[in-house]
Amino acid sequence: MVELGGKGPYSTSFDNSVFIIPAIVVVAVFVYAALKLRDATLPKEKTSARQRREEKKKAK
């Protein structure tokens, strides 16, 4: 429980889920973006490696 202004006559407290749920959402969005970025870059690396192998075979 998070308490704000506990010394005054009016005090407010928030349940921890108010902070935990948005944090989970932010982490999930970050992981999703990281996975999409990885998936977008890996096929390009594989195709460039394949092209290099084909060029070596043609050179021989």
Q: Which domain holds residue 24?
A: 2-59
- Give the residue-averaged pLDDT of 27-55: 86
pLDDT confidence of residue 25 = 98
pLDDT confidence of residue 11 = 67
Is this structure's pTM higher than 0.85? no
Instruction: Tell me the pLDDT tens digit for each residue of 15-36.
Output: 888 899 999 999 999 999 999 9
CB 18 within 8 A of CB 3: no
Between CA 11 and CA 16 the distance in angstroms is 16
Averaged pLDDT of the chain: 83
Report how many domains make up the chain: 1
Between CA 60 and CA 58 the distance in angstroms is 5
- Give the residue-averaged pLDDT of 23-51: 88
